[in-house]
C-alpha cells in the first residue's frame, strides 16, 4: 500500500509529496522525503545552479536501482506557479521544459523522481546565448582521483590566463566539473569552440595527464569533454544528488579545498551540515561573468595552425568542417568520404528549414518520426498534447522484409535492459560477420526510449557504408520487447 501524502508549505507554496516513504537509495535507506528535505536544506545553493534555466527531467521514479528516463516536455499538470521555456533542439524538435526558480520547485521536481538536476547552460529569457561554459573532467578507467584534481588545477591556470574564473565542484561520480560564468553574448557553437580551445590548451600544458581527444582509443589520463557545451547537452548541477549507493552529492568546492577533496566526503547526509557551517562555496558565481574573446582568439590560432573542429557526439548530424567521425583505427576511406553538411550542431540548411516549417505548422516534432503512441500523460504521438497518435501497426518492421526508408537502417533488437538489447546486436553481428568491417561507430544506433515509467532500449544499424548488394534485410527482432504491454489495460475477460 502506498504511504500517505505529505503536504509541505514552502515559501508560500503548497507542494504535495506523494509516497514520501518510497526508498530511493536502498543501500543507504534514504527515502523520497529525505531527498526533498536535503534539497530544502541547501536550497539557495542548489538554486544558484538551476534558477531561470530550462531543465530536462531525469526521473528515477523507482529509485536508483532502476533505470531512469529523461523527460524533456513539462508534465501537463505542473503547478501554475512554475514557468516553462520552449527550447528548440539541434534536431529541430521543440519542447516546453520546466524552469525552477524557487525552493518549492526543487521539492516538486524531486517528487517526480529527480535526484540530480540537469539544467541547460542558458536562461529562459535568452535561449540562444549560454551564460555558462562547462568543463567536465572525465578520467579514463584506472586513473586515480588525485590525477583528476591535478588536471583541475591546470584548468584553473589556463582560465586565469584568459581572464576567466572557474568554480569547481565534485561531479558526484568519478570526475570534477568546473563552471565558468560568461557574458551571454556568444552562440552555442562559439561556446563549444571556446571549450575545445581550452581543452587543447590544458592538454598542451599537461600532456602526460590531460587529453582533448574524443576517441577513447586515443585518450589517456583525464579527458576534457568539450562536447558538453554543444546545444542540448546538460550536466548535473551544483548540489545534485547522484545515483550512487551512498547518495553522493555534486558539491561545490573552494580551490583551497580541491587538492584534498575526496568524492565520498560529500553525501546527502554530510553536505547539509557542511552547508550550514561554511555556506555555499559557489556563492558569487553570478558576479563574475567573463568574456570568451581570448579563448576564441586562441581557437582561431589553433585553426591557423591546422587544428580545426573536433568530432561531435554521434547523435548530432555530421557537421561541415568536422573531421572524420570514425575511430582512427577503423578509418578506411579518404577524409572527403566522411564530410558532413550540418551547421551549428544541426542538420544541413535545407533540412533545418523543412523542420522549422513543420514546427511553424504546429508539429513540435518537426516532421520527424515519433515514438509509440501515448508516450506521455494525456498526449498523443510523441507525448505532445493534440498530436495525432499513429497506430502501432506500421511503426514496427515486418519479420520478413525491410521497412521502407530513404536511409538503409534496420532494427536489430528491443529490450527492457540495455545489456539484453546489445546482446541481440552481438548475435546479429555473428550472423553477418562479413558486413561488420564496413560499419562505423556512428552506424550503431542505441536509443533509450521513454516508456510510461522507465526506459527501454532499441538497437538499429545504419547500413549506408555497407555495399548495397551485401546489406542484410530486416529480420525478426532479437529480443523483441513490446513496451505497449506496460500501458495496455489489463484484460477484463478473466484471462489476466
pLDDT per residue as tens, the chain (496 positions): 456 899 999 999 999 999 999 999 999 999 999 999 999 999 999 999 999 999 999 999 999 999 888 899 999 989 999 999 999 999 899 999 999 999 999 999 999 999 999 999 999 999 999 999 999 999 998 999 999 999 999 999 999 999 999 999 999 989 999 999 999 999 999 999 999 999 999 999 999 999 999 998 999 999 999 999 999 999 999 999 999 999 999 999 999 999 999 999 999 999 999 999 999 999 999 999 999 999 999 999 999 999 999 999 988 999 999 999 988 888 888 888 888 999 999 999 999 999 999 999 999 988 886 543 333 333 333 333 333 333 333 334 433 333 344 578 999 999 989 999 999 999 999 999 999 988 877 789 888 876 544 678 999 999 988 898 999 999 999 999 987 655 444 434 333 3
Look at the block and give the residue holding cell 533545418: 352
Using one digit for the tens of pLDDT, what is the confidence trace for 208-223?
A: 999 999 998 999 999 9
Cell of 298: 586562441
3-state secondary structure of 376: coil
User: Phi then psi for 172, rounded to 5 degrees?
Assistant: 85, -5
Q: Is the dihedral of CA 395, 401, 406, 409 positive or negative?
A: positive
Cβ contact 258:20 at 8 Å: no
As a whole number of Å, the end-to-end CA separation of the chain is: 21
Q: Which residues contact 148 (CB under 8 A, 6 or more apart)?
A: 137, 139, 174, 175, 176, 222
What is the pLDDT, as a whole number, of residue 261?
A: 94
DSSP letters, 279-347, are --TTTTGGG--B--HHHHHHHHHHHHTT----PPPTTSPPBTTPPP-S-GGG--S-GGGG---B-TTS-
Using one digit for the tens of pLDDT, what is the confidence trace for 102-118?
A: 999 999 999 999 999 99
What is the pLDDT, as a whole number, of residue 383?
A: 34
Residue 356 CA, chain-centre distance (Å), reads: 23
3-state secondary structure of 264: helix
Side-chain-facing half-sphere of 51: CA atoms under 13 Å: 12
* Alpha carbon distance 93, 88 (integer Å): 6
* Alpha carbon distance 367, 13 (integer Å): 39
Amino acid at each position: 500500500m502506498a504511504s500517505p501524502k505529505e503536504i509541505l508549505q514552502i515559501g508560500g507554496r503548497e507542494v504535495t509529496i506523494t509516497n514520501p516513504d518510497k526508498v530511493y537509495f536502498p543501500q543507504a535507506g534514504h527515502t523520497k522525503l529525505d531527498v526533498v528535505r536535503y534539497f530544502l536544506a541547501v536550497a539557495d545553493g542548489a538554486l544558484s545552479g538551476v534558477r531561470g534555466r530550462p531543465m530536462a527531467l531525469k526521473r528515477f521514479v523507482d529509485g536508483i536501482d532502476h533505470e531512469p528516463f529523461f523527460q524533456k516536455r513539462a508534465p501537463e499538470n505542473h503547478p501554475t506557479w512554475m514557468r516553462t521555456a520552449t527550447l528548440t533542439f539541434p534536431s529541430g524538435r521543440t519542447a516546453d521544459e520546466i524552469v525552477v526558480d524557487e525552493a518549492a520547485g526543487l521539492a516538486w521536481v524531486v517528487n517526480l523522481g529527480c535526484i540530480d538536476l540537469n539544467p541547460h547552460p542558458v536562461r529562459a529569457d535568452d535561449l540562444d546565448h549560454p551564460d555558462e561554459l562547462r568543463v567536465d573532467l572525465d578520467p579514463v578507467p584506472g586513473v586515480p582521483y588525485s590525477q583528476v584534481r591535478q588536471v583541475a588545477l591546470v584548468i584553473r591556470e589556463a582560465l586565469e590566463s584568459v581572464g576567466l574564473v572557474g568554480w569547481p565542484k565534485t561531479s558526484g561520480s568519478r570526475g570534477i566539473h568546473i563552471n565558468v560564468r560568461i557574458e551571454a553574448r556568444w552562440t552555442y557553437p562559439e561556446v563549444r569552440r571556446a571549450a575545445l580551445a581550452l581543452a587543447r590548451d590544458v592538454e598542451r600544458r599537461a600532456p602526460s595527464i590531460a587529453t582533448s581527444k574524443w576517441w577513447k582509443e586515443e585518450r589517456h589520463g583525464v579527458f576534457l569533454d568539450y562536447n558538453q557545451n554543444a546545444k542540448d547537452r546538460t550536466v548535473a548541477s551544483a548540489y545534485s544528488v547522484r545515483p550512487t549507493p551512498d547518495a553522493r552529492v555534486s558539491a561545490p568546492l573552494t580551490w583551497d579545498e580541491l587538492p584534498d577533496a575526496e568524492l565520498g566526503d560529500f553525501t546527502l547526509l554530510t553536505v547539509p551540515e557542511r552547508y550550514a557551517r561554511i555556506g555555499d562555496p559557489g556563492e558569487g558565481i553570478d558576479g563574475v561573468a567573463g568574456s570568451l574573446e581570448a579563448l576564441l582568439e586562441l581557437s582561431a590560432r589553433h585553426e591557423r595552425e591546422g587544428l580545426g573542429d573536433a568530432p561531435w557526439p554521434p547523435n548530432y548530424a555530421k557537421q561541415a568542417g568536422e573531421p572524420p567521425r570514425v575511430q582512427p583505427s577503423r578509418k578506411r576511406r579518404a577524409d572527403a568520404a566522411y564530410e558532413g553538411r550540418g551547421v551549428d550542431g544541426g542538420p544541413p540548411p535545407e533540412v533545418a528549414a523543412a523542420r522549422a516549417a513543420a514546427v511553424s505548422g504546429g508539429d513540435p516534432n518537426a516532421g520527424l518520426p515519433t515514438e509509440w503512441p501515448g508516450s506521455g500523460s494525456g498526449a498523443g504521438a510523441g507525448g505532445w498534447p493534440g498530436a495525432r497518435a499513429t497506430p502501432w501497426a506500421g511503426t514496427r518492421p515486418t519479420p520478413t522484409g525491410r521497412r521502407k526508408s530513404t536511409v538503409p537502417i534496420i532494427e536489430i533488437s528491443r529490450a527492457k535492459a540495455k545489456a539484453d538489447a546489445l546482446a541481440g546486436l552481438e548475435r546479429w553481428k555473428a550472423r553477418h560477420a562479413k558486413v561488420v568491417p564496413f560499419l562505423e561507430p556512428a552506424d550503431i544506433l542505441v536509443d533509450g526510449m521513454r516508456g510510461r515509467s522507465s526506459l527501454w532500449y532499441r538497437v538499429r544499424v545504419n547500413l549506408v557504408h555497407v555495399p548495397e548488394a551485401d546489406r542484410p534485410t530486416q529480420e525478426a527482432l532479437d529480443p523483441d520487447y513490446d513496451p505497449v504491454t506496460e500501458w495496455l489495460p489489463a484484460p477484463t475477460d478473466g484471462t489476466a
